[in-house]
Structure 1
Amino acid sequence: MKHLLFAAVLAVPGLPAVAEDITIGFATAKSGWLEAYDTPAATAARIRIDEINANGGLLGQQIKWIEADTKTDRAQSAKAGLQLIDGGADMMVVSCDYDFGAPAALAAESEGMNSFFLCAEDVKAGIQGVGPNSFSGSVLAAVQGATMAEWSHARREARSAYVLLDTIIEYNKGICRGFDWMFPRLDGAEIVGRDTFKNDDASIASQITRIKSLPEQPDVIMLCSVIPGAASAVRQLRAAGIDSLILNGSAVDGSYWLDATPDLSGFVVPVQGSIYGDDPRPEVEAFNKAYEAATGARPASSYAYPGYILIDLWAKAVERAGSVDGAAVTAELEKMRDEPTAFGPRTFTPELHHQNYAQMQIVEITAAKPAVTDSWTISEPVPLDVLLKR
């Protein structure tokens, strides 16, 4: 309706032609637990919008943004999506989590509009769960698990692994899925045991007993979990005298939780970029400083970065399409192969609107201090059938 009204205004004789702004709608959580993920990524997206506007805009027009609070609620997410459509959004940015972002994304899909999940890392946040015009700005959880498998095998000579899965959310299962796919494929590598727990379990004593009953401690423990359960599990593992290298996914990036695990060492995660000022790419630190200038503080974790990336990629596709039409922009996004971004190359295809391989920075915590220790890109993409396995 917005575009029809604009065309009608242009058709009225005697009225000057005025360029219409391009509008991005943010259906994201400004309250509830998801706000901690959505707000940093949405802030990063707006930083990229400001940069584009300062450089002349998009298709000769300025980008404006409107927002609606999903309140970390699925029903409210659907309402927020409809509200933004009524408000004239040309594209929609939705919450980091698939379950909470999908209702708004589905509203956008029903209008033929592009949607981007801020940082969802489940394959359903795209073609497989929403539809052909939906994408994610982040790297799949399975890639993170596969990265930890291949990196630890190559760099730390890991040959035995124990998999410890926190079953609370699909993201955790995705990390373990990628590790389970990659590690046994590597020369001499074996998963010697696996166990599960729930994020709010007060104790993982029985799981620790099973690890300690192994003939030898595993070289690595693949801990697929998120805070606060991940911090509790790490503390208990170390208190029990288990000194295996502990691996996890990007969701535990950041130093905010380290008070719960005093003097922690031997803990490694893969991230899209470093918040610690030691990323080898100067563009990443330039963003960290821009974020600090905008908010008064540096990013607390690397989950801010996908917001910046998604606006960058969408804007490139819009310029190439010469339009904000969803189908036209999707066609251009699907042509991207190793498209350069400040955080490494990105690829979309007609089969997958996520990253099933990506360059990751390897952050290791030593004596409670996180720092980039390496960079790694998995040797082959995670196959679609592995991503879809449940």
Structure 2
Amino acid sequence: MKHFITATLLMGLATPVFADDITIGFAIAKSGWVEAYDAPAVAAARIRIDEINAAGGLMGKQLKWIEADTKSDQAQSASAGLQMVDDGADMLIVSCDYDFGAPAALAAESAGLNSFFLCAEDIKAGIQGVGPNSFSASILAAVQGATMAEWAVKEREAMTGYVLLDTTIEYNKGICTGYDWMFPKAGGEIVGRDTFLNGDASIASQITRIKSLDKEPDVIMLCSYIPGAASAVRQIRAAGINSTILNGSAVDGSYWLDAAPDLSNFIVPVQGSIYGDDTRPAVNEFRDAFEAATGAGPSSTYAYPGYLLIDLWAKAVERAGTVEASAVTAELEKMSNEPTAFGPRSFSSEIHHQNTAEMQIIEITNGKPAVTGSFTISEPVPLAVLLK
């Protein structure tokens, strides 16, 4: 039976707290466009919390969670983070995207707490943009772009590439940064580049410039997210351009494919397949467990880092013997090829992300996504490239 402590303060009674609980605060989007990315990862995180509790807890204590809605708003993210700190969270979990999770993560950093982005893939979602106690268990956007670059050259013999960058958020820039670094290294040539904004109704001028090339590029690296990515893909194909289109993990999932009917020759890298066909049985088993727990399979690969972050943080807490942030950070930074169901994960005193990882390669053919193999880049993306 739980025992709780009450204390009398000068201004009245404190809210009762359980002495044998460890509290995880979720400052996440429960509404707005970021919810589509946050919700699956939150559900996966809570599955791992339940597993830990069922196995006796963490350091013999039960994990409980509290939450606040950021409403996909940066100002509200800061308020939600402060609320979680005030409500007694021992660590914070914040939104997937750096721009929308950082305000809450900064509140945790100021309070001396660890924070984990649910699935942020920008190098700034960690040491470089928040502080020494902030992490992400996801795979950097630059790794996704580099994976697509090297995979396209080695597996599809792509020699020419066109870069189409959606400049709306930092994630997109990271994908293109990785691609720009790796494609020439792997033997390809970038024959042109252009930009657009996610909310642009038309990319007609960009398409005109692609069609004006002497020869259609072998691949188009589209660095974007839904809905802008879907609109761009539809317009590219409607213009008669048949180049292989590459993107990052943000467009994983079949939920948007009605916007680009019968799409083929579209490739994305993901850290785990949601279709039950991952090359690693443990990932397929978790996918089935997720469906059993929530009533539906994960809508995108972004479910998986939520499970991973709890798993890795809990291991670090057990090894540190405390939830105190600096001690937990020290244990996380010792992790080198730490085994997980989704492959090894590593952190260091310089990078609190994954700058190399095995990726599942998803190809969409006639509107149907499926794993076509797996791929790991030949070398990690250097920090200097990540900071560009």
Pairs within 5 Å for 1:36-185: 36-185=36-185
Aligned to 2:335: 336
* Cα distance change on mapping 1:7 and 1:271 into 2, 3 Å: farther
SS of the equivalent of 1:78 reads helix
1:381 matched to 2:364? The reply is no
Matching residue's letter, 1:172 = N
Distance 2:198 2:326 in 1: 40
Alignment of 1:1-390 (within 5 A): 20-187=20-187, 189-389=188-388
**Could you tell me how far 1:7 is from its partner in structure 2?**
12
Q: Distance in 1 between matches of 2:295 and 2:370?
A: 22
Does structure 1 conserve the Cα–Cα contact (< 8 Å) formed by 2:270 and 2:361?
yes
Deviations 1:90-137 (A, max 9, x none): 111011111221121111111211100001111111000111000012
What is the CA-CA distance between 1:241 and the residue it aligns to? Answer: 1.4
Q: Give, in whole Å, the separation in 2 of the partners of 1:351 and 1:28.
A: 26
**Alpha-carbon distance in structure 2 between the residues aligned to 1:232 and 1:244:** 16
Letter in 2 for 1:200: G
> What is the distance in 1 between the residues matched to 2:185 and 2:122?
23
SS state at 1:318 partner: helix
SS at match of 2:49: helix
Aligned CA-pair RMSD: 1.5
Following TM superposition, by how much is the alpha carbon of 1:375 offset from its aligned partner in structure 2, in angstroms?
A: 0.4
Query: Structure 1: which amino acid aligns with 2:221?
Result: M
How far, CA to CA, are the matches of 2:68 and 2:179 in structure 1?
37
Q: Kindly provide the amino acid, as one letter, of the partner of residue 107 in structure 1.
A: A
8 A Cα contact 2:99 2:170, kept in partner: no
TM-score (norm 2): 0.94
Q: Distance in 2 between matches of 1:7 and 1:346?
A: 42
**Distance (whole Å) between structure 1 residues aligned to residue 142 and residue 326 of structure 2:** 28
AA in 2 matched with 1:274: S
Q: Spell out, residue by residue over 1:291-329, the C-alpha distance to the aligned partner (whole angstroms, 9 max, x if none).
A: 212221111111111100100000011111111110000
Q: CA deviation at 1:290?
A: 1.7
SS of the residue corresponding to residue 242 of structure 1 reads: coil
Q: CA deviation at 1:88?
A: 1.6
| Residue 12 of structure 1: aligned partner | none
1:298 is paired with a residue of what secondary structure? coil
Partner SS for 1:274: coil
Q: Which amino acid aligns with 2:134?
A: S
Confirm or deny: 8 A CA contact 2:23 2:66 kept in the other structure.
yes
Q: Which moved more, 1:300-309 or 1:100-109?
A: 100-109
- Distance in 2 separating the partners of 1:219 and 1:345: 32
Shift of 1:219: 0.8
Cα distance in structure 1, aligned partners of 2:110 and 2:311: 24
One-letter code aligned to 1:355: Q
2:284 aligned partner, one-letter code: E
Once the 2 structures are TM-superposed, how far is the Cα of residue 261 of structure 1 from its aligned partner?
1.1
Greater shift, 71-80 or 163-172, is seen at: 71-80
| Post-superposition CA distance 1:164-192 (Å, at most 9, x none) | 111111111110010000001123x1001
- TM-score by length of structure 1 reads 0.93
After TM superposition, the structure 1 stretch with the greater mean CA deviation from structure 2, 220-229 or 74-83, is: 74-83
Q: 2: distance between equivalents of 1:6 and 1:288?
A: 42
State the SS of the aligned residue for 1:122: coil
Code of the residue aligned with 2:268 in structure 1: it is: V
- The letter for the 2-side match of 1:350 is S
Q: CA deviation at 1:255?
A: 0.6
The residue type equivalent to 2:273 in the other structure is: S
Between the aligned partners of 2:235 and 2:85, the Cα distance in structure 1 is 48
Kindly state the Cα deviation for residue 358 of structure 1 after the two structures are TM-superposed.
1.0
The offset of 1:19, in angstroms, is 5.7
Instruction: Report what 2:15 is aligned to.
Output: none
Q: What does the per-residue CA deviation read over 1:213-256, in whole Å, with 9 as the maximum and x for residues that have no partner?
A: 11111111101111111111111111211111110000000011
**Structure 1 residues 274-297: Cα deviation after superposition (integer angstroms, max 9, x where no partner):** 001101212111211222122211
Shift of 1:6: 8.9
Amino acid at match of 2:255: Y
Structure 2 residue ranges without an equivalent (≥5): 9-17
Residues 279 and 373 of structure 2 are in contact (CA less than 8 Å); yes or no, is this contact kept in structure 1? no
Which amino acid in structure 1 is aligned with residue 118 of structure 2?
L
Deviations 1:319-357 (A, max 9, x none): 111111100000000001111111111110000101111
State the shift of 1:370 in Å: 0.3
Question: Distance between the aligned counterparts of 1:214 and 1:351, measured in 2?
Answer: 41
Asked if structure 1 preserves the Cα contact closer than 8 Å seen for 2:139 and 2:355, the reply is yes
> How many residue pairs end up in the alignment?
375
